[in-house]
Structure 1
Amino acid sequence: MRDNLVPFIEFRGAGKQYDGKYAVRELDFTIYQGEFFVLVGGSGSGKSTTLRMINALIEPTDGNVYLHGKRIKDYDIRQLRHQIGYVLQQIALFPTMTVAQNIALMPDILGWQKAERRARVNELLELVELSPEHYRDRYPHELSGGEQQRIGILRAIAAKPQVLLMDEPFSALDPLVRAVLQDQIAMIHKKLGTTIVFVTHDMQEALKLACRIGVMHNGKLVQIGAPEEIKNRPANDYVKSLFSTADTPNAAQLISQFHQMDPHEQAAVRQALLG
């Protein structure tokens, strides 16, 4: 990491207990401004608990979490969450709202003018290669799963949040659709410079996307480092085994999944593969 990176999110001795048992404990690490930071680990390792401390969905019982040097618990919770985008595996688009209305939800809440909201919707749809003319007035049920997830991401960044939290956002998607969305979130990060904290159980996804990876096990952070460091110099046998067992879909599965996609998704896959 470069020496001039600015601390943005800091965990200082943070822990969370439920009924006297730790879900996470002794978290001491920093996420830097503009970084794509990925948390990985097995089920129950504490990844999502750690993520949710950042937007105050979970409050630590030990220590503190800081945003811009200020404790999360000292923020007005509404103002805090206006600064934070949040994307889940379950997309939860509003079914009676159009694509444009879904994307513009937070700008509307924040009082943006209609023309400004419309321009932002068009800008974001074009960013992920969805034609505004074709998609603005469609409803969620008219979209494929990959398209719905793209709209969910755009809704989360529409009001230009300072940080984007993503909790296993692509895990329910087919590998080819997932690969396209990985490329698009990497492109969004590169173009917008938004700080992203991303949770996944897919080690290949972590290696592909991360500036740095944090590996969690039994509620503790056991290693943190750049992808090549984590892969080539694992801190212990657990980290080594975690990255050696990443699932790789076989060719037959990929071909079958490609043929099940709609034409737009097939075109996006072709473009991603051809560069």
Structure 2
Amino acid sequence: MALALNPASALLGATPAELPRDALAPGGALALVVHDVAPATWERCAALLQAARDLAPALPATLLVVPRWHGQPSTRAFESAMDAALAEGHELALHGWSHLDPVPARGTLQRLRRRFYTAGEGEFAALAREDAARRIALGKRWFARRGWPLAGFVPPAWLLGEGSAQALADAGFAYSCTLDRFIALQGQAPLRSWSLVFSTRAAWRRGVSRLWVPFLARRLSDAPLLRFELHPDDVVYPEVRRCWLDLLARALAQGRQPLLLREVAQRLPLKPSL
């Protein structure tokens, strides 16, 4: 089965668009995206959001919610917190079902991507189309029962195998993302958009991230969209927290407009008709 950091060709269907900086908003756009939102992580996610809003009040974020994080059920307290987040102007998106990769990894490349790179959390990396479609449908129903609007699906660790990409293409979402692309699913070309993301699982990873992410942010200074893709532990380590807050402050000072991911999808131009 095909496996890559980018989605399968059935989902992309086009070369990524290269747009000018002001294509989405005057001065460029930025998106604050919080991964792995679940009852077990919510205290850290809430602290991360508060740190961002201490920097810029009313800053909107897209929260990537996992219905059954590592098999754990949801809670009323967590769902009340999500209701409050929506009322505060944030967006909720579906981030897999369990955030665990259930398929054995075969071969060196797959083991590196799905065990070392993702710590076994790339849930949609190698699923068959039917299994991926079932998990997506479960997530959509879970959102619907709670009355939460749902426009986007972002796979855990941004990994999509061929079967998962096919299931996602049929699921009716407005957008998805991979590590290096924003993918609008309503007739727009995908947008090349690298994620600004930290790795915190070890001290050496944190050290490398604090060098790599600012370097990447400078390289992306003319990009139409900066994606600040943060994880719960990004608020735990002071040196990582200072780094992303400084980068976020610079992006805002440079005039970038904060957008929810659904707003990014709405602003992308349609592919030209043949």
TM-score by length of 2: 0.29
Q: Which has the higher strand share?
A: 1
Bigger Rg, structure 1 or 2: 1
